[in-house]
Structures are given as structure tokens and as C-alpha cells.
Amino acid sequence: MFASVLIANRGEIAVRIARTAKRLGLRTIAVYSEADSDALHVRVADEAYAIGPPPARESYLVIDRLIETALTARADCIHPGYGFLSENAGFAEACAAAGIVFVGPPPSAIRAMGLKDQAKALMEKAGVPVVPGYHGERQDAKFLKEKAYQIGYPVLIKSVAGGGGKGMRRVDKHVEFDAALEGAAREAQSSFGDARVLIEKYVTAPRHIEMQVFADAHGNVIHLNERDCSLQRRHQKVIEEAPAPGMTADVRAAMGRAATEAARAVGYRGAGTVEFIADGTKGLNPGGFWFMEMNTRLQVEHPVTEAITGLDLVELQFRVAAGEILPLAQEDVRIDGHAVEARLYAEDPERGFLPSTGTLAALELPAGEGVRVDAGVTAGSVVSPYYDPMIAKVIAHGADRTEALDRLAKALGATVVAGPRSNAAFLRALALHPEFRAGRFDTGFIDRHLAELTAVDARAEAGAVARAVEALLGRDTAPASDQSAWRDPWSATDGFSLGVPRALDLGILVDGEPEKAAANWGQGGVGVSVGGIDADAAARIVPVAGGALALVGGVQRNVALKSYDSVDVDHLDGDGVVKAPMHGKVLAIFVEAGASVRKGERVAVVEAMKMEHALVAPIDGTVSEIAATVGAQIAEGAKIMTIESAKGES
């Protein structure tokens, strides 16, 4: 076994790797960018080294700097985690050249599976079923559009170089192909440095099922059963579980054979995942699944496999990388109960799941029987725009699927995230949805049920806002024990009145929008209602600069008392202002000053947290001002352009 490991990653996966490494007696070495100097993964490691500025391309993706750091720290091996350089063959070769063991597969296997077009050709040769499509070298737009027409819509445009939904677009109509191809290629270039794509048939009602494989350097290849990753949004996994609902022994055996053959075909070593797409319209059957890709690394969702098998996959990675024989054979792999994982992200489901940044004013993660949490942040940590917005992974394990989902829903209900918005309430709604619990779902499930999954209880919201107003009204009151504090008699909050009880209609701001609250003072203090709903004493209130955050059922509202000594500039620009929906980088501006635009027309693209977000014209009119430049970093709410309406109003 190794004596030390440099973890070439950040966030929850770096923390998780360090946990196993410490248990095995390894000295743990962290690396960090300037944005991560006080990050949790830095604090849990035995040593930590700075490697550059916040952008990943200037820090976590600089191979020479990582190798130099590993040599300085005398690391025996480097664990790449997932993302960043985990599937970079050049990084694996650089490790070998420096005499450092790369905890992952050989460079040849990474290259073979790293480009989806070549991987599919290799799998066809090995007899593994592959989704129909075009996986060739020609990349001119006209040719690819013709191929899409021949394959038949709907089709998927996919980056040949990456995964995680980056550089992927579903296209339902021929007229939509050009814009989709342009966006997919640009996103693929930004994420992976390779703009090439492939085209494949979109499988109706698809189930996304993957097999965890492990191989050692002695010719042993096994699988650790499957995971179902069908609950997705924008091709990003949201909830994963093991085993897959509806899986039968014969289908598992067929998928397992295909997965292990795929690993053998590339001379694989270490942990890997072979991903399949299955036709969900007919139920799972041995002839109804096709190879999509192989991820030559550990997966985000590996904890559900650990839960049902009782194995530590990171420990197996270290042992295989150290040259040991796999400690179990295929017949030793077990399935104990059911496990479900939810990805807790800093994003706003009410605003199209836009990434949400900022300081975590409060963070309370769940605990309890059958619950595991892998987190990379703590209260006070900053969710920055430079990296993936994951806060934590919440994993629940039970005797069966119902118990696992019950535990997951309870855990998510106990989760508190204040500051950046989170998808906690959305995840809980998924865990409780009767159709999902009945096993009736595919990769389109979230889109079909999005409205109900993101619905907010208006009464609960009003009660929470009212409770926040009560807290704000009482905040400046001097403590009764402080007899020396001077008290302004005109702003006292003790309820004293010579006439009728004091009452006031207050102007408040909820998420920056003006609303009204009714405040009534009595002997017990101030009582507030919003829209006729009294304050909910159970709502969680977190003080922040300028106001308070009200939390209820995973939903967050920023509440402030309206100030009347300043102009409300937020609404002077009207509906014609196109603003940045989040902190990010301006990738493209499609119009110039003076151009005429129609409502809904794409006018700009902003990139944040490795995803592209198209901005559209809110009204018909003429572009009167361009306030941003391509390539510039912009803050949430920053003006990008102004459009004068066709009627002369902006």
C-alpha cells in the first residue's frame, strides 16, 4: 500500500478520498486554488499546497503544476477524483513519467473510451450493442444535419470528448438542428477543449442504467451490479439508486457481461462505469439496452453501490493501483437492500435551476439511521461561480426501496441551506412523488412533472415571510436588561398606545420585489401577517446583511423592510432590460445596438458553473444599449443590454 497520496481535486470528492486514505494510513496532500484557500478539503488534509488562480484552467487543470507539487510533497500516488483531469490520458502519462502512480486506468484505456465515437466503434467490434447513429470524423454542419435527417428525429447531439451533459443537445425538429449544433460544439470546446460531436438516435422513454466495473492488473474483471440514473434534468443526473427498479437476474447478467467485455476490450484497470441506455417502454429485457459510453473514473453516485455491496470503492482503487489482486470474485458480490442518492446543489429550481452563488449563511446537513452525507462545504463556505455548484450528496440506505426513499425524504426535509438557493425541496418532492416511488419513470420524468415538483406552498411561503418581518421589526430593540441603553420613545416596540392598538401596513421587499405586510402591536409584541396569513413560528429565520432569510420546506426568501429614503432603481429600467441571471462569463452577444429583435429571440449566452444559459429578448423592440462585452465576467443582475419597446417604452 502507498504511504501518501496527492488528491488532484476539490470539494466533496476530495474530502471523501481523504477519509478513506486516512483510514488506510496514507498521508493526505490537498491542492487548492486561490478561491479554495479555506475550503473543507484543504482543512481535512494533512498538507495543502496552493496551485494558482480561481479558474480551473489556471489551477486544477495545469498538469505541470500538479506534478511539480506532487514531487515537492513526495507523494507516492495521485488520485484524480472525478471531473477535472480524471479522464485525461496526458495526465496519467505525466504521472508515470514522474514516477508517481496514477490511481486510475492506463492511458490507453482512457484514450480508447475518452472519445465517444471511437469507443462506440470499439464496442461494436467487441459485440457490445450500440445506439444507432453517426460516429464518424466528418464535422461540417451541413453533413451532420443530413445525417440527423437520415437517422430520424428526435436525435441527440453529443460531444465526443466529455460527459455530464456538457455539449449535449436533444433536437426534435430539422429546423432546430443548426442552433443546437452550434451550442453543443461551443459548450464542448469550453468544457473539454474539443468541439467535435456525434449524432445518435434518441431512444423513446429511455432508462439510463450503468454498471460499476472493477479490474486489476492480473486479468480479473468483475462488475458490482447496476445503478439507475434515469432521473435527470438537462442530461444531468439528479437522483441515482441501486439496484435499478424492475431489474431482473437475466437482464443484470446480460448487462454485466457486456460491461465486463467492454472493460476487457480496452485492457482496463481500476474503477470504471459502463453506461447503457434502455428502452423504458417495454420494461427491462436482455435485448433492449445499448452501450452509450464508459466513464474511466469513479462516479459521483458511487456511494449507492458502496451501500448495497458493503465495499469501499476508493479503497479498492488504491489497492488495485498498488498492484494488489481484487479481494473478491464475481460470486462474492452481494446486494444488501436498496440505496438512493440525491445531489444537493446550489441552484434555484424556481428560476429554471440557475446556479446560485454566495456565502452559506447557514448549513445543516442531515444525520440518522441509514443516512450518509458526503459534503465539500460547511456553514460560512462560499459557493463560487468557478466550479460545480454541488453542496453535498445525501445518500439513504434501507431494507427495500420504500424505506430508502422514506429515509431520503426525511433527510432532505431536515436539510437547511441558507444563502445560495438550493434544490432541497425539489429533491424531496422527487423522493415523495408517487409515480417515481412506483417505479414508473424514465429520463423525461422530471420535465413532464416539473411544475408540480417545483410548486411552492403559497400559504407556507407567506407565513415564513411574515415571521421574517417580525424578526426584523424586533431586531433593533435594546434588551430589557440593558438599563443604560437610550430608547427612542417614537420607535418603541412595547405595544404601548394611548388610543387603539398600534397597527401599520409595511412596505417590504421579498427577493427584491415590493410586497405588503400588516403589523399589529400588542402586549405580546408585534404580530405580522402577509396576505392574511399569520407568521409561522416554525419558519427558520437567518439574519443576513440588510434583512433576513426565511426558510420553509426547503424554499428560501430574502426579506427586507423597504427603505423610503432612497429611489427604487431596480425597476426603473422596465421590462426591456436583459440582465445576467447569475454570476458568470458572457460567451456571446448576437445583436448590435440599433438591431430590431422579437420577443423570445436569443440575444446573448452566459456561461456559469460549466453550463451555458441562453438569454432572450423580453419584448419586441430595438436594442438601444449594449452594456457588456464578450468574454467579460459579470455579476448576477448586471445589465447586459437594453431594448426599447416597439411602442417607445423600455
Across residues 206-233, what is the average pLDDT?
96
Of 151, 186, 201, which closes a domain? 201
CATH number for the domain spanning 390: value is 3.30.470.20
Environment class of residue 261 by beta-carbon count within 10 Å: exposed (0-12), middle (13-18) or buried (19+)?
middle
Residue 153 and residue 172: Cα distance in Å, rounded? 6
Same-domain check for residues 281 and 362: yes
Same-domain check for residues 214 and 319: yes
Instruction: Report the number of secondary-structure helices (H) and strands (E) in the chain.
Output: 17, 38
Instruction: Answer yes or no: is 630 within a domain.
Output: yes
Q: Give the DSSP H or E segment for 413.
A: helix 401-413
CB atoms under 10 Å from CB of 435, counted, come to 11
More confident residue, 98 or 522: 98
The pLDDT of residue 480 is: 41
- If you ran DSSP here, which 8-state letter would residue 203 be given? P
The pLDDT of residue 205 is: 83
Sheet of 390-398, strands arranged across: 289-295, 270-279, 206-215, 221-233, 236-242, 338-345, 390-398, 371-375
Same-domain check for residues 161 and 248: no
SS3 of 80, please? coil
Instruction: Answer yes or no: is 422 within a domain.
Output: yes
- From the list 297, 319, 428, 557, the catalytic residue is 297
Q: Which of 134-138, 455-459, 497-501 has the lowest mean pLDDT?
A: 497-501
Kindly tell me if the per-residue pLDDT of 62 is higher than 50: yes
Instruction: Answer yes or no: is 55 within a domain.
Output: yes
Q: Which three cell numbers stand for residue 484?
A: 443604560
- CA 489, 494, 500, 506 dihedral sign is positive
Same-domain check for residues 261 and 347: yes
Kindly tell me if the per-residue pLDDT of 429 is higher than 50: yes
Same-domain check for residues 523 and 575: no
Kindly tell me if the per-residue pLDDT of 504 is higher than 90: no
Q: How confident is the model at residue 478 (pLDDT cuts 50, 70, 90)?
A: very low
Residue 426 and residue 343: Cα distance in Å, rounded? 11
Of 561, 586, 614, which closes a domain? 561
Q: Which three cell numbers stand for residue 504?
A: 401599520
Q: Give residue-wise pLDDT tens across range 28-42.
A: 999 999 999 999 999
**Cβ–Cβ under 8 Å, residues 395 and 340:** yes
Residue 268 and residue 271: Cα distance in Å, rounded? 9
Residue 469 and residue 539: Cα distance in Å, rounded? 12
Kindly tell me if the per-residue pLDDT of 532 is higher than 70: yes
Residue 290 and residue 201: Cα distance in Å, rounded? 11
Q: Grid cell 481535512 — which residue?
A: 44
The values of phi and psi at residue 426, to 5°, are -60, -45
Kindly tell me if the per-residue pLDDT of 107 is higher than 90: yes
Contacts with 449 (C-beta within 8 Å, 6 or more apart), sequence order? 433, 435
Q: How confident is the model at residue 513 (pLDDT cuts 50, 70, 90)?
A: confident
Across residues 229-258, what is the average pLDDT?
94
Same-domain check for residues 401 and 445: yes
More confident residue, 93 or 476: 93
Distances (CA, A) of 461 to 13, 218, 451, 456: 34, 59, 17, 7
Residue 207 and residue 413: Cα distance in Å, rounded? 27
Same-domain check for residues 554 and 601: no
**Cβ–Cβ under 8 Å, residues 105 and 80:** no
Kindly tell me if the per-residue pLDDT of 491 is higher than 60: no
Q: Give residue-wise pLDDT tens across range 596-637.
A: 999 888 899 888 765 677 888 999 999 999 999 998 888 777
The pLDDT of residue 93 is: 98
Instruction: Answer yes or no: is 97 within a domain.
Output: yes
Across residues 48-59, what is the average pLDDT?
96
More confident residue, 565 or 301: 301
Q: How confident is the model at residue 91 (pLDDT cuts 50, 70, 90)?
A: very high
The pLDDT of residue 569 is: 38
SS3 of 107, please? helix
Kindly tell me if the per-residue pLDDT of 501 is higher than 90: no
CATH number for the domain spanning 594: value is 2.40.50.100
**Cβ–Cβ under 8 Å, residues 228 and 156:** no
Kindly tell me if the per-residue pLDDT of 494 is higher than 60: no
Question: In the predicted model, what is the mean pLDDT of the chain?
Answer: 90
Same-domain check for residues 362 and 375: yes
Q: Which of 35-44, 197-206, 313-322 has the lowest mean pLDDT?
A: 197-206
Contacts with 625 (C-beta within 8 Å, 6 or more apart), sequence order? 593, 641, 642
Distances (CA, A) of 380 to 241, 328, 360, 544: 31, 42, 5, 12
Same-domain check for residues 75 and 223: no
SS3 of 458, please? helix
Kindly tell me if the per-residue pLDDT of 477 is higher than 50: no
The values of phi and psi at residue 575, to 5°, are -80, -5
- CA 354, 357, 360, 364 dihedral sign is positive
The pLDDT of residue 570 is: 40
Q: Give residue-wise pLDDT tens across range 138-189.
A: 999 999 999 999 999 999 999 988 766 788 999 999 999 999 999 999 988 8
Q: Please give the tally of structural domains in the chain.
A: 5
Kindly tell me if the per-residue pLDDT of 301 is higher than 80: yes
The pLDDT of residue 225 is: 98
Residue 173 CA, distance from chain mean position? 28
Same-domain check for residues 297 and 344: yes
Q: Give residue-wise pLDDT tens across range 153-167.
A: 999 999 988 766 788
State yes or no: is 297 an active-site residue: yes
Same-domain check for residues 214 and 318: yes
Residue 453 and residue 438: Cα distance in Å, rounded? 16
Residue 307 and residue 577: Cα distance in Å, rounded? 50
Of 174, 201, 228, which closes a domain? 201
% of residues, the chain, pLDDT over 70 = 92
Between the two ends of the chain, the Cα-to-Cα distance in Å is: 67
CATH number for the domain spanning 29: value is 3.40.50.20
Domain range enclosing 178: 132-201
Q: Which three cell numbers stand for residue 211?
A: 454498471
The pLDDT of residue 117 is: 73
The pLDDT of residue 632 is: 86
CATH number for the domain spanning 191: value is 3.30.1490.20
Same-domain check for residues 159 and 287: no
Q: Which three cell numbers stand for residue 413?
A: 426535509
Across residues 200-229, what is the average pLDDT?
94
Instruction: Answer yes or no: is 57 within a domain.
Output: yes
Closest CA to 78 of 102, 96, 53, 59: 102
Residue 418 CA, distance from chain mean position? 17
Instruction: Answer yes or no: is 167 within a domain.
Output: yes
Report pTM. Answer: 0.81
The pLDDT of residue 574 is: 52
Length of the chain: 650
**Cβ–Cβ under 8 Å, residues 260 and 221:** yes
Across residues 392-408, what is the average pLDDT?
98
SS3 of 358, please? strand
Instruction: Answer yes or no: is 113 within a domain.
Output: no
Instruction: Answer yes or no: is 492 within a domain.
Output: no
Across residues 550-576, what is the average pLDDT?
69
